Copies of this chain bind each other. A is one copy, B any other.
Amino acid sequence: MSDFEINILGCGSALPTVKHYPTSQVVALREKMFMVDCGEGAQLQFRRQKLKFSRLNHIFISHLHGDHCFGLPGIISTLALLGRTGELVVHAHPDIEKIFGPILSYCSRDMPFQLRFNSLTPSVSEIIYEDRSMRVRTIPLRHRIPTCGFLFEEKPKSRHLIRDIVEFYKIPLKDRAQIRDGADYTTPEGKIIPNNILTREADKSYRYAYCSDTIYTEKIIPLIEGVDVLYHESTFANDNLLRAKETFHSTAIQAAEIARKANVGRLILGHYSARYLDNTIFLEEAISVFPNTILAQEGLVVPVSGK
C-alpha cells in the first residue's frame, strides 16, 4: 500500500449510467483524507471502499455543476448522524453557500460539528490548504462556469540521519531535528561537520494534479509540470472533438497531449460521457500519445508515491 494514493469513487459525467457514478475521489496521504468533488452517491462509494468518515476533514469542489457537488448534502448529513465533532471545511466557489445553505440548515439542524466554507477564486492559482506535510494549490481551468483543479503536493521531507555517523559524533537528540532539516553540526570542540556527511537524501515528495472539467488548455502545464500522477478529464473520444470544444471539455488525446507536454509520470483518464458504452476507446486513443495512461474506474486505487 502506498502512503499517498487516490481512490476513485466516481468517474462518470453528468448523465447517470449503469457503470459509473458522477465524479468524486478521495486523496489519502497517510492518515488524512481529502475528498475531491462530491457527485451524487459519493458517500455510498466512500463507505463501499471502506474508507473512514472520521478521517475526512476537507472537501474540495472544482465547480458547481451538479455531477461534481450533488453528493454534498448526503455526506454532510451522514457525518452529522455519525456524531462527528470538530470542523469540516468545504473549499469551493463562494456561490456554494447560496445553493447548499438552505438544504443544509434545514436537513442538518443540529450539526455536532462546524461546517466551514472556504471560498475559492478559481481564476487564480493559490494555496488553499496547508499542513505539516501537504499543500493544496488551485489550478485554474477553462470550463463553462468558474472551475479549478487541485494540485496536492507533499512538502519536502526531512533528510535521513546516518545513524553510525550521528553516534560517532555523539550528537545530542535536541540537535537532530535541525540536522534532518539540512543544518550542519558543530561539535563541542567547534569543528563543523557538514550536513551531507551526517544525512542521506530525503525521500522524494510526490505530487498529484486533478484537472476536471476543462477544455484543452496548455496554460495549466507550468502548474502541473512533472507531477507524479495527473487526473485529466476526457469526456469525449476523438469522434466528438467538436462537441468537446463546444461544451468546454477535453478528448482523451487532448488529455494525453497535456500529460506528454507536462512530462507527468502517469495519466488517469475519467469523466467519461454517458454516450460511450465501452471506455476502451479512451485508452486506445490516449496511449498513442502518452503510453503511461490508465482508465479511472469506480473502486480503483492509484498509488501516487512510489511504493
The listed residue (B47, B66, B100, B108) touching A16 by CB distance below 8 A is: B47
Describe A's contact surface by its main secondary structure: helix
Copies of this chain in the oligomer:
2
Q: What interface size band does chain A fall in? A: 35 or more
A48 adjacent to B103 (CB under 8 Å): no
The listed residue (B22, B46, B77, B99) touching A14 by CB distance below 8 A is: B77
Q: Interface 1/0s, chain A 94-129, versus B by CB < 8 A?
A: 010011111100111000000000000000000000
Q: Interface 1/0s, chain A 139-153, versus B by CB < 8 A?
A: 000000000000000
| A74-B70 CB under 8 A given contacts A18-B47, A100-B103 | yes
A281 at the interface (CB under 8 A from B): no
A15 adjacent to B81 (CB under 8 Å): yes
| A40-B71 CB under 8 A given contacts A15-B81, A47-B17 | yes
List CB contacts (< 8 Å) of A66-95 with chain B. 66-67, 70-71, 73-74, 77-78, 81-82, 95
Greatest chain B CB density within 10 A among A22, A99, A101 is at A99
B102 adjacent to A99 (CB under 8 Å): yes
B82 adjacent to A15 (CB under 8 Å): yes
B77 adjacent to A73 (CB under 8 Å): no
A107 adjacent to B99 (CB under 8 Å): yes
A66 adjacent to B70 (CB under 8 Å): no
B103 adjacent to A95 (CB under 8 Å): no
List CB contacts (< 8 Å) of A8-53 with chain B. 14-18, 21-22, 40-41, 43-44, 46-48
Greatest chain B CB density within 10 A among A17, A67, A73 is at A73
The listed residue (B18, B40, B102) touching A48 by CB distance below 8 A is: B18
Q: Which residues of B contact A106 (CB under 8 A)?
A: 64, 95, 98-99
B43 adjacent to A16 (CB under 8 Å): yes
List CB contacts (< 8 Å) of A139-196 with chain B. none
Q: Which residues of B contact A64 (CB under 8 A)?
A: 106-107
